[in-house]
Amino acid sequence: MKTEQQYFEEAISLQEYMDKMESHKDNSQLIYDQFHVPQDDEFITLLKEKAPHILAITEDWCGDAMLNNSILRRVAEAADIEVRVVYRDQNLELMDRYLTNGGRSIPVYLLMSPDGHVISRWGPRAPKLQEYILELRNDLPASDDPTFTDKRTAFIEKVTAEYISTPEYWLWVYEDIRREFTAELQKQS
């Protein structure tokens, strides 16, 4: 069984992943171009000091990945840390170690110490965004309803449009990654 560090060593960079995207590439680039890490953030200083690396488990068809990966890339660039990516569907053994409520929800970010131990995980969605998405999902009919497919498509289109046009959502993602990773990094000696 491969370790997370072995997956990291075999993975591609986040930039290479974004360059190769087939789905959501333009939307992901748009978020990346418009999001900027808040100035003078202690989180970035902490990342620079602790020098972790991050393994992302993701797929480019995922709307949450479209949003979150763009934010994470900006964080990594600001802190000069390395983020590498593995594709979920090609790495189910790894993915199955990090299920969310029993599901293979992505993206998942594994914050790793310089020596390769997982010290924290984040994903797939910031809590405020999760709450909002769950509210929207309440309006969807049951999956056996004849209108389900059309309404689900409209739901996905609405969420995607909001993800690329709502800077508040970007900050929710940033702040939650910041909160989770800061708490764990501060525990490291």
What are the pLDDT digits (tens) for 6-43? 999 999 999 999 999 999 999 999 999 999 998 778 99
Please name the residues in contact with 52: beta carbons below 8 A apart, sequence gap of 6 or more.
81, 111, 112, 113, 114, 119, 181, 185
Phi, psi of 47 (to 5 degrees): -60, -45
pLDDT value of position 155 = 93
pTM: 0.94
CB 141 within 8 A of CB 149: no
For 4-126+168-187, CATH gives: 3.40.30.10
Is the CB of residue 89 less than 8 Å from the CB of residue 60? no
Mapping DSSP to helix (H, G, I), strand (E, B) and coil, where does residue 40 land? coil
In tens, the pLDDT along 154-185 reads 999 999 999 999 999 999 999 999 999 999 99
Parse the chain into domains and list their residue ranges. Answer: 4-126+168-187
Alpha-helical segments (H) within 80-138:
92-95, 127-137
How many Å separate Cα 84 from the centre of its chain?
12
Place of tokens 């995207």: 21
* Residues above pLDDT 90, as percent of the chain: 94
